[in-house]
Structure 1
Amino acid sequence: MQRKAYVPGVAALIAALLAGCTGGGALGGEPDDSKPGDTGGTTAAAEPGKYRTLPEPCGQVDRGTLDSMLPGIEEIPGEEQQERAYEGAPTVTYDTDRRVGCRWKVESSDATHHLLVDFERVVSYDNSVSDDTRATEVYSSKAQKADLAAPSGTPSAGAADEGGAEGSAPEPSDGAETGKGGGKGKGQDKGKGKGDAGGSASSASSGSPENGVTAPGLEPRILDDLGDEAFLDDALTTSGSATRHRTVTVVFRTSNVIVTVEYDEQPGRRTEIPDSKEMQEKAQELAGKLADGFSE
């Protein structure tokens, strides 16, 4: 008896199944929806920041400014020692492309002054977030650490923070305490926070400008016409058993760079209080010069 030829039909069926698999059909994997010229819908990367490098910090403050902000620097004995005081000391950083700074410290019979200049270049590692946007976030976190007085009677632009300065903020110059803390009365809360073991505070915490509390118009506030955005903080640290000292901090952002000027004065006599207005004017003048350097 002659056998029926089933083999050719089976072969044809197998061939059809194989064709369906390689073509991405229902029996195969995911269908191939790609089209000629299709880029896969990749989202365009966010714009990089304007600044790719940072200036050398110790060379950004001229001698005239140092003479004004660091009284006594001209009286330092010895030409070599005086020259080192003018040069300042670079701060320790792990990536000079991202952050650099410089400190100056001058002691005299009347007072000890510290000055810190810090440059931070912010880089976003998220392709969907620009460097400028990330820098704005970093700046805002710094501003929230200060009790800022909002302009034109609007609500406060910065929330008080009991925990002190943010970890990313520059450290106090040569161990000087910044005295930052929470509460509405800057001078009052600073005094209580730095009191002795018994919790006593000096008369500077009484709340009047004559006793060391920042006068109206000189309180921590948002600044206009300085970079893209800026603020000033003024912290007076007082206690019944230690010398009072004031720290004025000016922070501004220009594109993806955040600049911090920290100016501290500790009088030689415990009863003396650093002049808030004078210190603020000097710190703002230096910040303005640094901002002009970025616009050149």
Structure 2
Amino acid sequence: MNRRNFLLKSLITGFGLGYSGNLLASAPNIADKRITILHTNDIHSRIDPFPNDGGRNANQGGLTKLANLVSQIRREENNILLLDAGDVFQGTPYFNFYGGELEFRMMSKIGFNASTIGNHEFDNGLKGIYDQLPHADFSHICSNYDFSDTILNGSILPYKVYRKGGLKIGVFGLGIELDGLVGRKNYENTKYLDPVAVANDMVAELKRKNCDLIICLSHLGYSYRSEKIDDLKLAAMVSGIDLIIGGHTHTFLDEPTVVKNPEGFETLVHQVGTGALRLGKVDFVFSKENKMKFAMAKSLTT
């Protein structure tokens, strides 16, 4: 059995450490509804755990360990969305050999629902993305990259609405500005659109679709000292995003940052580092009338 097929087969049983328990032992009211959001970012082709080299991440991380953790949580929770905030590609020789195929196939086995487009997804050009999409049994969502004049036209969704446990969850995605970060020949005629304006449009659209929960998959970065747009600025400027799942800056947060914008709306901003070292878990509880009551969240080590 070759290495690629062995890795995929191994996901059936899973490797790694166990999940220690629920954040919420049970809903406070029998009529309440609960949705669990699991999330990753900046996996960077980390299939196996980090090597046993004495470093701080030795024997940790990787999709094989993540698979085991997710599998155990699925036995505990009924309504789960598993989401990723981009930069699945690039970082280990697996990407050099397989171009992203192994990453997408393993994520499909684990049961990811959606991922956004990070800057490293462009490392093999637009055709590099296009050729690997058939291996992904999950959606790719990005709202502020206009691919209409490229080979990816129609392949990337601006948003998607999921139905789980009697709730409607709207998910949209935002990518970082490519100019100066990615070579022009790699993104070709992809147009970058202002993420704040797009986010406002997406929130309005998802509210029109009566979504109970609105999530942004962001590859903008957690925070910058400059005026460059980041997740914290986005949360402060756009009202109506319940959760921003971030990426790009490889920021390890033990729990989400709560941002209250001038209108009084509170957004959770979460990011869980890199290399599948951690898995974010956010539990939202709604009343039977689909009114959000509270949320609890943390990062779990894989």
- Higher helix residue share: 1
- Higher strand residue share: 2
| Structure of greater relative contact order (alpha carbons < 8 Å, 6+ residues apart) | 2
TM-score by length of 1: 0.31
Larger radius of gyration: 1
